[in-house]
Amino acid sequence: MATAAKRPLRADAQRNRDAILAAAREIFAAEGVLTSLDGIALRAGVGNATLYRNFPTRDDLLAAVMQTSIATALAEADELARTRSPREALAEWLFRLTWQLRIWHDLPYCLATSRHDAASPMKPTTDPLLAQTETLLAAASGDTVAGLTADEAYELVLALSWAVDRFHDDEPAARRRVAIGTAGMFTSA
């Protein structure tokens, strides 16, 4: 039996969903991802029930808000793979991913928490980041220590992203932190 295609949202429902996503982006940027969901509903001009009907959990909302950023990051990774040596592409990816994931306070914590939870709505949203890390790591395998896994590299990025967030690194400080933190991944040049 074929499943019915998902119907598009009514115009007013789509406006509400878009308003919730826009409000969430703003509030996540100002207050972090562990902020009150009620505050997001209020900022969006919708009731709590509307927010929860669209996004039953915080992770559902966070995953939806992150999708555009993740698509952009993956496109950048493809560009790095085309334009740089495998070692340089991996090193720059690790920095850019660290920098991107620190964008909202407590995001690294939420990603680490959902990392091994197969039921988390965050997992299918962030799995492409792990897959891209694996692709770049495989391409740079001659320049990385033997046995290094994409899981280890991704978890290191989450830890570095947490530090960049907590210590309020600007971009040059974050780049230095990532270079120092990931130096042990690479063989001598």
CATH code 1.10.3470 for 57-185: no
Specify whether the CB–CB gap between 93 and 127 falls below 8 A: no
Model confidence over 80-112: pLDDT tens digits? Answer: 999 999 999 999 999 999 998 888 888 888 888
**What is the average pLDDT across 24-32?**
90
Structure-model confidence comparison of residues 130 and 188, the more confident one: 130
User: What class does CATH assign to 10-56?
Assistant: mainly alpha
**For residue 141, what are its two tokens?**
């395998």
Quick one: which of 18, 29, 20 has its CA closest to 102?
Answer: 29
Q: What is the pTM of this model?
A: 0.84
What is the mean pLDDT of the segment spanning 51-66? 93
- pLDDT score for 106: 85
- The answer to whether residue 179 scores a pLDDT higher than 80 is yes
Alpha helix ranges (H) inside the chain: 11-31, 37-44, 48-54, 58-83, 86-101, 107-114, 122-139, 150-166, 171-182
CB 150 within 8 A of CB 129: no
Question: Sorting pLDDT into bands at 50, 70 and 90, what band is 189?
Answer: low
150 has pLDDT over 90:
yes
Q: How confident is the model at residue 5 (pLDDT cuts 50, 70, 90)?
A: low
Instruction: Compute the chain's Rg from CA coordinates.
Output: 18
Q: Is 64 exposed, middle or buried (0-12, 13-18, 19+ CB in 10 A)?
A: middle
What ranges do the domains of the chain cover? Answer: 10-56, 57-185
In this prediction, residue 105 carries a pLDDT of 82
